[in-house]
Amino acid sequence: MNNKVLLICKKRTVEYGVSIGLVNSATFVANFLIANGIPSKVVSVIDSNSIDKEVFNYKPTHIFIQAIWVPPYKMKELVIRYPKIKWQIRVHSKIPFLANEGIAINWLSQYNNIIKQFNNLSVSGNSMAFADAMQKSMNMPVYYLPNLYFLNHNPPQRKPMENKYINIGCFGAIRPLKNHLLQAMAAIYVGNKIGKPIRFHINGGRPEQGGEQILKNLKSLFDASSPHELISHKWEEHNKFLELVASMDVGMQVSISETYNIIAADFVNVGVPIIGSQEIYLLPFFRKAWALNISSIICHLYAAYKRDNFIKRFICSQKLKADTRSAGKKWLLFLKKQ
């Protein structure tokens, strides 16, 4: 297999720090492929006009554009200019989230027209639900290429729990479908029930898609809920972020829509209990709450904090490893067939 893979992300116009979900996701894939003897590289470019330079310098056989940001006219130019390269647009969202991106369906439709004309362009999704929806509604062939989590075999040591506070990490971009406000309300209830103030940790510097209003409501909630505290952290590179995760007592990612959720995998990798929603397949059933039901979130959060044990952490870890192995096989098979 003489493949050489280039994964291309778009640089953000605002600096949020090094650790961005798409970059991390692409880096995990690249690390896995390199470990399996396939040269791979991740680059971030300002815009689609910068792609040519990266292609010329690296000379890949396969290119994975991370998310929908290359205009269809430019995509067609690239496909024609580099006919021997297999181009792939990899979508990282399910339809409910994609609905907030006004250009998404229009551009996907135009990509589909290009696919019908040329055999070196395809679209994939890291969610089977996305692939299924596109195939059924638009008759668009979409590959399923799941996320890979490149396990850190020497993760930071989990810090002992504080007696005075409950540190709860609810990290990630602040946006509507992440469900921060309801999770914070559930956390406050659990803190009151246990009799300890909570410190609710977030990444506060990156509101998206109306997330400014969510952040405003979070601040108001905690202003009215003393002695509980809202603590905002800047974005860090992944290894540094794992150290922050290791300092938490419990994590929350009870999202309304997810395709994978690297943050949940980070908590599992470090050994800190985390609860998610039914959307996060990498977690076992006893760590999944119903995202719109505060009683369900409260029940699972309380159990994760008070009734966590080695066996539960082991089950979470084994499931993450099994999912990662399965995803890796799909990637290697895809590249072998291309």
166-320: CATH number: 3.40.50.2000
pLDDT for 17:
43
Sequence-distant (≥ 6) Cβ neighbours of residue 271 within 8 angstroms: 155, 158, 313, 317
Percent of the chain with pLDDT over 70: 96
pLDDT for 207:
63
pLDDT for 209:
65
Q: Which has the higher per-residue pLDDT, 101 or 246?
A: 246
Length of the chain: 338
Residue ranges of the domains in the chain?
Answer: 5-145, 166-320
The dihedral region occupied by 335, where left means phi > 0, alpha psi between -120 and 50, and beta the remainder, is alpha
What is the rounded CA–CA span in Å between residue 264 and residue 168? 13
The pLDDT tens digits of the residues spanning 278-331 come to 999 999 999 999 999 999 999 999 999 999 999 999 999 999 999 999 999 999
**DSSP β-bridge partners for residue 99:** none
The pLDDT tens digits of the residues spanning 254-272 come to 999 998 999 999 999 999 9
Would you say the CATH fold of 166-320 matches that of 5-145?
A: yes
Q: Which has the higher per-residue pLDDT, 236 or 180?
A: 180
Which residue in this structure is represented by tokens 């399910």? Answer: 94
Q: Over the chain, what HEC string results? A: CCCCEEEEEECCCCCCCCCCHHHHHHHHHHHHHHHCCCCEEEEEECCHHHHHHHHHHHCCCEEEEECCCCCHHHHHHHHHHCCCCEEEEEECCCHHHHCCCCCHHHHHHHHHHHHHHCCCEEEEECCHHHHHHHHHHHCCCEEECCCCCCCCCCCCCCCCCCCCCEEEECCCCECHHHCHHHHHHHHHHHHHHHCCCEEEEECCCCECCCHHHHHHHHHHHHHCCCCCEEEECCCCCHHHHHHHHHCCCEEEECCCCCCCCHHHHHHHHHCCCEEEECCCCCCCHHHEECCCCHHHHHHHHHHHHHCCCHHHHHHHHHHHHHHHHHHHHHHHHHHHHC
Average confidence score pLDDT of the chain: 93
pLDDT for 59:
96
CATH of 5-145, one of 3.30.565, 3.40.50, 3.30.70, 1.10.10: 3.40.50
Distance between first and last Cα of the chain: 10
pLDDT for 273:
97
pLDDT for 154:
79
Q: What is the mean pLDDT of residues 193-210?
A: 85
